Amino acid sequence: MSLHTELAPAVARRRAGVFTATQARDAGWTRRQVEHRLATGRWRRVAGLGLTAEPLPDDGRRRAWAATLTVPDAVVARRTAAEVWGFPVPADDDVEIYASGRTRRLRGIRALEGLPDVDDRRAMGGLVLTSPIRTVLDCCAHLPWEQSLDLYAWASSRRVLSHADLAHAVRRQFARHGNAQLARLMTYTARGAVSAAEHRCQALLRRAGSPAGGPAQQSATRWA
């Protein structure tokens, strides 16, 4: 097939439709052709160096690939990782990654310094992401409070994360500056209220004199 009929370099087929300008030139497009396709909207930028010929919207995998092609040692993290895993977390405008060392500011990418431990990483179709448990903990530490409660409710009901896992993360000061929110979450959920709505309900029950139950302490294994 000629370059005139190819929508994008063949390498993009294995990467959620994402490629770089360098890969396009390696596949036979000239610099001028690459610039023309970007200028006319036939190709567009996803994030960083990542380009695509695919229509909007961009899902988590496509955005994760854009970051990975830009920062080769990237570990996809926080809300972007949650989107790839299929967790109910609102997407961020930027792709969130961990990277070794200090990474300069890149369009559409937020790089967090310091790679997670190997045990906190998982490979998925060529991408490297934070593990399900690490992803939930990261998000719960940094999301707005009610979103954090709701994510914990979802994750604990599906055995992605248990209250014992949460307590362990707090004890080892897992999230550093986000540890205060994890500690607050551990205290709130110890009373049995897990989502924001359930917490409000439990507060009403306590005021009415009804006892509140406690959460299950079984360690999560399904998503480890």
Could you read off the pLDDT of 98-143 as tens digits, one per residue?
998 777 778 999 999 889 999 999 999 999 999 999 999 999 999 9
The last residue of a domain, from among 130, 148, 183: 130
In a domain, residue 110? The reply is yes
Average model confidence (pLDDT) for the chain?
87
In a domain, 220, yes or no: no
User: Do residues 151 and 96 share a domain?
Assistant: no
Domain-located, residue 93: yes
Within 13 Å and on the Cβ side, how many CA atoms surround 92?
Answer: 21
141 lies in which domain range? Answer: 135-208
Task: Report the helix count and the strand count for the chain, using DSSP H and E.
Answer: 9, 8
Report the distance separating Cα 8 and Cα 27, nearest Å.
Answer: 9
pLDDT at 196: 66
- ∠ CA 2-58-110, nearest 5°, is 115
- Note the pLDDT of residue 33: 96
**Do 166 and 179 belong together in one domain?**
yes
Same domain, 171 and 111: no
Residue 51 is classified by DSSP as E
Both tokens of 166, joined, read: 């949460």
Mean pLDDT confidence for 83-91: 95
Residue 68 in this model has a pLDDT that exceeds 80: yes
Residues 175 and 199 in one domain: yes
* Final residue of a structural domain among 130, 160, 180: 130
Is pLDDT above 80 for 9? yes
Give the count of domains, the chain: 2
